[in-house]
């Protein structure tokens, strides 16, 4: 969808090409685009009218004529084309204006979502009373928009900040692309609730909005997917985007991979390290197989801390008709089920460790589901320390959810013995499973804290308590 900078680019381009031109003919091929008049009234009113001014408010274009005005909202796919009179009409050109300089001015919309409305006034104050415009908030780059005004609007809601900034009644002109950029520049997690926004946050939102929109307008907007200005101008601001559309690319500030998620059904990009949730600290717990991660998480639970466990999520989602269950059955049919139509963990494990190819297939199914569940649980969690236990923390890039990482390690002998006893494996089978993953040394190097779990329990607990003291 074209956002404020793209619509402003269209306005400026049209202004250079059709200002002071007179409409000599109008053809309407899809009448439902006309919001408040019939096709006949639309044509008879605009024939003979001269385009005196082209204005914009938010994502609306406003064409000012001699004694009336036309409001146009491009919606998802609306575009204006300027063509020669003899250019053949294309399928999705729904309204065509002929101008007195022998060119045609055409509205093109593949989805037919765009709307136009005629008003019998040229007074800006009266135009702004039109219902679609009257309900809009101040523009994001309006210098008269104060942080207190914005905070007052946000404090009346209890929704995610990403959703709020997309609400044109709260702040006008920002769309999905630029909200992601504004949230990043303001260091706000898109899942931050509006009731948690401070006056400093509101100030940062407005300042960032003005910077982003000014740069985007100067660059001609952003050309992503199907949108271009269609008037010989291709936006270049996509070359300056910091996070939007940058999934898995390094954050320009901290180098953490940019995460793509969904907020209110909208694709959302952010840096999980730079844009943390307020008053929450997420600490990851990882370690190689059979190093004693459960010992640490059990103690943390006993201490009253929230511990989100990836293994528990997998266990839950493998139950019949849950997400992982459905995905695995869809991929492997019923080969991995037992006689009770439940996933057989032994069959699944055998399949996983049979080859690297199999392991990658399983991981591509399981990891995205677990990531989404963890992300949702972190958002819903109360303030304070939140611990997230993920065995494949680094391999599956779950470290992007965390601000700090704890690695639990033990001696090689202890690890092998634990795994053999716990899973009833031979020495060869145990070594094969250990070798299939990142080494303990690699995990330790990537972590912020290391817990040595090769000694007595009291020694492990002492190390956990020391980390808690540092992080609380």
User: Which residues are part of the catalytic machinery?
Assistant: 2-3, 59, 266
In sequence order, what are the residues at sequence separation of 6 or more whose Cβ sits closer than 8 angstroms to the Cβ of residue 128? 57, 134
Burial of 92 (0-12, 13-18, 19+ CB in 10 A): middle
Q: How far apart are CA 351 and CA 161, in angstroms?
A: 43
Work out the number of other CB atoms within 10 angstroms of the CB of residue 313: 22
Distance (Å, whole) CA 94 – CA 91: 8
**Cβ-contact 57, 128 below 8 angstroms:** yes
- Contact between residue 175 and residue 166 where contact means Cβ atoms under 8 Å apart: yes
Phi, psi of 24 (to 5 degrees): -100, -20
Q: State the distance between the two ends of the chain, measured CA to CA, in whole angstroms.
A: 43
Q: Which of 312, 313, 305 is nearest to 467 (CA)?
A: 305
For 4, residues 6+ apart whose C-beta sits below 8 A from its C-beta are 58, 59, 139, 140, 141, 172, 173, 174, 175, 178, 213, 216, 217
């Amino acid at each position: 969808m074209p956002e404020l900078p793209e619509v402003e680019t269209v306005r400026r381009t049209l202004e250079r090409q059709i200002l002071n031109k007179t409409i000599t003919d109008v053809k309407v091929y899809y009448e439902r685009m006309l919001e408040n008049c019939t096709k006949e009234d639309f044509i008879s009113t605009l024939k003979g009218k001269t385009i005196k001014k082209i204005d914009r408010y938010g994502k609306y274009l406003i064409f000012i004529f001699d004694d009336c005005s036309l409001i146009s909202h491009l919606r998802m796919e609306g575009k204006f084309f300027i063509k020669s009179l003899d250019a053949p009409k294309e399928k999705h050109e729904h309204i065509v204006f002929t101008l007195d300089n022998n060119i045609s001015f055409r509205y093109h919309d593949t989805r037919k979502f765009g709307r136009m409305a005629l008003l019998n006034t040229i007074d800006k104050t009266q135009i702004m009373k039109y219902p679609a415009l009257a309900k809009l908030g101040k523009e994001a780059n309006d210098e008269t928009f104060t942080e207190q005004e914005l905070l007052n609007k946000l404090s009346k809601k209890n929704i995610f900040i990403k959703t709020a900034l997309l609400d044109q009644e709260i702040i006008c002109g920002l769309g999905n692309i630029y909200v992601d950029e504004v949230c990043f520049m303001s260091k706000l997690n898109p899942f931050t609730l509006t009731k948690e926004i401070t006056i400093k946050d509101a100030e940062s939102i407005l300042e960032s909005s003005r910077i982003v929109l000014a740069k985007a307008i100067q660059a001609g907007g952003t050309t992503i997917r199907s949108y271009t200005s269609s008037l010989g101008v291709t936006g270049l601001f996509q070359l300056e985007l910091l996070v939007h559309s940058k999934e898995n690319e390094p954050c320009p500030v901290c180098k953490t991979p940019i995460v793509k998620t969904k907020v209110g059904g909208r694709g959302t990009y952010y840096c999980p390290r730079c844009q943390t949730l307020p008053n929450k600290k997420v600490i990851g717990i990882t370690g190689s197989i059979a190093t004693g991660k459960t010992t640490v998480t059990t103690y943390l639970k006993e201490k009253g801390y929230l511990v989100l466990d990836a293994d528990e999520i997998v266990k839950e989602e493998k139950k019949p008709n849950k997400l992982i269950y459905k995905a695995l059955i869809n991929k492997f049919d019923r080969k991995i089920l037992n006689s009770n139509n439940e996933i057989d963990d032994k069959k699944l494990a055998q399949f996983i460790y049979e080859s690297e190819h199999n392991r990658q297939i399983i991981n591509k199914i399981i990891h995205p589901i677990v990531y989404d569940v963890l992300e949702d649980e972190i958002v819903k969690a109360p303030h304070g320390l939140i611990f997230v236990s993920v065995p494949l923390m680094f391999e599956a890039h779950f470290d992007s959810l965390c601000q700090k990482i704890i690695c639990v390690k033990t001696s090689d002998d202890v690890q092998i013995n634990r795994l053999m006893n716990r899973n009833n494996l031979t020495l060869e089978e145990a070594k094969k499973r250990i070798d299939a993953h990142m080494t303990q040394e690699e995990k330790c190097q990537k972590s912020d804290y290391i817990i040595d779990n090769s000694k007595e329990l009291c020694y492990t607990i002492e190390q956990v308590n020391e980390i808690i003291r540092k992080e609380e």
